[in-house]
Structure 1
Amino acid sequence: MVVGTPVGSVLILSKLLLISQAVGAALRGRGIDAEAASWAPGVQRAVHELTESDIVILFDDLEGRDAVMATQSLVTQSSARFLVLTHRPEGAAWGAMLASGAAAVMNNESSLAEVVSALMLVRSGSSPFTEVRRSRLVREWFRWLAEDDALRERIADLSPREREVLGLLAAGSRVGDIVEGLGVAETTVRSHIRSIRRKLDVGSQLAAVAVVHRLGLPDTEVAPEPRDRRGGAPLPPSPRRPEA
């Protein structure tokens, strides 16, 4: 252990209390005094009570930009050191945690022995991450964030009708369905799709839809729920073909 590094508490934090309790029990079985916490009280404690000598083992899906940034906010507001476990593969989301000050990130399928080993390193004031690996992941996060911002700006440049068409495509509607539902000519819809591709700087209709899914935007955020011109009911998506 690094001389002068105090040994504080270990708080296990997950939105699923059973996970916190199971991991806490497993760590106590290894002689580590770990406490499980339910989500809201645990977050409050992490932010307002824990100190730099304490460690939070945080389980988080890190699904989507908003979720990642919410977790970043938690890490930066707390004085504790964070060991984050997630199902996300090593990449930009890991870099986001490291950029916000987390000591380490691990796959949540890591063995108990691996978690204990990482915890001991964090407790000693060290990290299982080399500086090269940490820097690479942080750069990957900021590169992803810049690309994400650029895509959001391109989405914002679409006209209301283009956003509507893109939302329908992202919801699974085919061109014919959009023509019928919006009561416009097929050439008009295809013109909108060409404009969407140009503004998003993508090479295909599929790539345009992929932008929506990459940003994690609900279809209704891209465009208001379209109405069937014939009866006023929401326009349904086309049935999807079974996957091969």
Structure 2
Amino acid sequence: MAGATVRLKVAVSADETMTLDAVTVSLGDRGITVTSTASTGADPQDLLVGDPSAWLVVADLDDWGQLAHVRGLIRGVHLPGVALTTAPRGGLWGALLEAGAVEVLSALTDSDTIEGALRDAAEGRRGHTPAEVEGLVAQWHLLRDGRDRTRRLVHSLTAREREVVELLYDGATVAEIAARFGVAQTTVRTQVKAILRKFEVGSQLAAVAAYDRYLRPPRS
């Protein structure tokens, strides 16, 4: 690989300290200098210490808040960044590419490929073709629009309906919810029917699934 003998300087961020430590050791073993480390919720300036030429971010993207943090970090770092994620290839990859990542890879990617991606990023080469980026970003826009719709539906719930759907999501039964609030089960069933109507679904299971999409990006 061209430039492979040049010592690469990389900043690293991750959503867990143990991951940060493991990645730092792994890159160091390959002769890569880790100039700075920070969590995915850090100030982007924290990653610019030591004048890195590329940046590696490792994130699971298990909830919408985490995704927003990672996208904000990518936008703010202003370094060619490579992202590793457990999220399957699809809309969540597109979210990171739209934010400015030059390549997204599966968290199962081997070390040689990760190093190659970082070197390519440092030398101004992107890891995806324009067509790939366009397709993944389009998938992200569909995912984002679906989440926005679900958020509007959740916000249409009353405060008590919101409490009921949260308890259903946690696995509570109608009887348990009624006992918790000190009301008749028929009252809770009426609230559940209102939730189903507002969510435009036909069952409690579908309502719980819709609420899950409000909380977390789908993994497929």
Q: TM-score, normalised by structure 1?
A: 0.75
Letter in 1 for 2:167: L
**1:202 — aligned with what?**
201
**1:224 — aligned with what?**
none
Give the whole-Å Cα distance in 2 for the aligned partners of 1:164 and 1:18. 35
Contact 1:21 1:36 (C-alpha < 8 Å) held by counterparts:
no
Paired residues in the alignment total 211
**2:37 — aligned with what?**
37
Give the whole-Å Cα distance in 1 for the aligned partners of 2:204 and 2:148. 21
Unaligned residue ranges in structure 1 (runs of 5+): 218-244
Letter in 1 for 2:46: R
Alignment pair present for 1:9 and 2:9: yes
Give the secondary structure class of the aligned counterpart of 1:127: coil
Deviation at 1:148, TM superposition (A): 0.9
**2:94 — aligned with what?**
95
Alignment pair present for 1:173 and 2:172: yes
Contact 2:36 2:49 (C-alpha < 8 Å) held by counterparts:
no
Deviation at 1:12, TM superposition (A): 2.4
Give the secondary structure class of the aligned counterpart of 1:89: coil
Alignment pair present for 1:129 and 2:128: yes
Give the secondary structure class of the aligned counterpart of 1:27: helix
Counterparts in 2 of 1:178 and 1:142: CA distance versus 1, 3 Å: same
Give the whole-Å Cα distance in 2 for the aligned partners of 1:206 and 1:75. 36
Counterparts in 2 of 1:41 and 1:198: CA distance versus 1, 3 Å: closer
Give the whole-Å Cα distance in 2 for the aligned partners of 1:197 and 1:60. 33
Contact 1:50 1:79 (C-alpha < 8 Å) held by counterparts:
no
Contact 1:179 1:186 (C-alpha < 8 Å) held by counterparts:
yes
Query: Which is worse superposed, 79-88 or 175-184?
Result: 175-184
Q: List per-residue Cα deviations over 1:21-46 (Å, max 9, x = no partner).
A: 44344434444444352548884332
Give the whole-Å Cα distance in 1 for the aligned partners of 2:42 and 2:185. 55
RMSD (CA atoms):
2.8
Counterparts in 2 of 1:204 and 1:130: CA distance versus 1, 3 Å: same
Deviation at 1:92, TM superposition (A): 2.0
Deviation at 1:183, TM superposition (A): 3.4
Give the whole-Å Cα distance in 2 for the aligned partners of 1:105 and 1:189. 45
Counterparts in 2 of 1:156 and 1:28: CA distance versus 1, 3 Å: closer
Counterparts in 2 of 1:162 and 1:45: CA distance versus 1, 3 Å: closer
Contact 2:12 2:37 (C-alpha < 8 Å) held by counterparts:
yes
Give the whole-Å Cα distance in 2 for the aligned partners of 1:127 and 1:44. 23
**1:82 — aligned with what?**
81
Counterparts in 2 of 1:42 and 1:168: CA distance versus 1, 3 Å: closer
Deviation at 1:64, TM superposition (A): 0.9
Contact 1:64 1:215 (C-alpha < 8 Å) held by counterparts:
no
Query: Which is worse superposed, 20-29 or 149-158?
Result: 20-29
Larger radius of gyration: 1
Q: Percent identity?
A: 30
Deviation at 1:184, TM superposition (A): 3.1
Give the whole-Å Cα distance in 2 for the aligned partners of 1:211 and 1:157. 13
**1:73 — aligned with what?**
72
Deviation at 1:191, TM superposition (A): 2.0
Counterparts in 2 of 1:27 and 1:163: CA distance versus 1, 3 Å: closer
Contact 1:170 1:212 (C-alpha < 8 Å) held by counterparts:
yes
Give the whole-Å Cα distance in 1 for the aligned partners of 2:211 and 2:188. 18
Give the secondary structure class of the aligned counterpart of 1:120: helix
Letter in 2 for 1:133: E
Q: TM-score, normalised by structure 2?
A: 0.82
Deviation at 1:168, TM superposition (A): 2.0
